[in-house]
A and B are shown apart, each in its own frame.
Chain A
Amino acid sequence: MSSNKRKVPEVNSSSQADIAFSLLIFFLVATTMNTDTGLARMLPPMPPENQQQEDIKVKERNLFLVLISGNGAIMAGTPTDQQIIDLRELKDKAQEFVLNPMDTEDLPEKEDTEIELADGSKWVYPVSQGVISLQTTRDTGYQAYIQVQNELTRAFNEIRDQVAEKKFGAKFADLPEENRAAVAKAVPLKISEAEPRNIKK
């Protein structure tokens, strides 16, 4: 009888810590923490195979060629005037090409485009018609290619920041989604990646 009056002993919880530890170690081993980062791009769609492939005609002034050679040297410029340049100069060159600040004859033309904003109003912005054409050889290193892609992205990001600052008073990355889409329309990321030259198999 006396044993009935006693309290039921509590479940021993001293091993709970060990259980938690083993769960913790399992998760430490079986999972990874790295978040993937990278440069986002859109590939051009493949033309239908039976269709005669026509080269899209782009006016010479609207074209900026960037060629990367097998040893990583960069040659950039308009089709008529190309120079070997350093990676450091590439961003400014690309920006000058896209912006055409002095509205000169041999840099790309601009077309006033109406962009609809989220609040229903229209925003007219002279959108540059320039296309940056990026060409590599089969020997070009991937690191050199990514560096050039990165510099070109940086050029566009800075222009977008400037435009966003002027129009909406904030950096591109801090804008709400719909304003960001409007700025992206005003400064389109036009990088054409042609197939590599002088294909050596």
Chain B
Amino acid sequence: MAVMKKKGKKELPAISTSSLPDVIYMILFFFMVSTSMRDQELLVRYKLPDATEVQKLEKKSLVSYIHIGQPSLSMQAKFGTAPRIQLNDSYKNTKDILDFVAAERDKLNEADRAAMTVCLKADGQTKMGIVTDVKQELRRANALKINYAASKSLGYY
């Protein structure tokens, strides 16, 4: 042991890394708490429109998403560039929204069904025609609480 001590005096002591795992764990827990799981792959591209009066979507478990936009780049060869509606993991027609809403509603508790929200994530460049068709279909499906997804901006002018 004496020999060891002599050696230690000559060299600079190495920086202790014993607290490194703790630091990493801290970052890990931060990310675990503040992020949510990526749940579906996007098949459409969109850039959400801007708005200033946006509100945060509360209770993500009650929210279903409808994506509207051009097919993503890898799909464009097959599907062209006309705007498409994505429900769950595939392109769908407006007619399928009825079934989609029914399926989404079945997933929820009976108590939560009235609070179900449908979030419309549509590209800013889409025309209102397709959006209106979707809205009419949602009315038919009696999913009346909707949310137009928009990103927060500071103003238009």
Contact surface of A with B, Cβ cutoff 8 Å: 13-14, 16-17, 19-21, 23-24, 27-28, 30-33, 35-46, 68, 87-88, 136-143, 145-147, 149-150, 153-154, 157, 193, 195-196
Contact = CB atoms under 8 A, between A and B. Distances in A.
Contacts of A145: 128, 131
Interface in B1-33: 17-18, 20-21, 24-25, 27-28, 31-32
Nearest to B39: A32
Contacts, number: 160
Interface centre among B20, B37, B49, B135 (most CB of A within 10 A): B49
B127 A27 contact: no
Given A27-B31, A37-B56, A88 B150 contact: no
B94 interface: no
A142 B24 contact: no
A195 B132 CA distance: 7
A175 to B, nearest CB: 15
Contacts of A32: 35-38
Contact of B150 (A23, A24, A37, A193): A37
B72 interface: no
Nearest to A157: B53
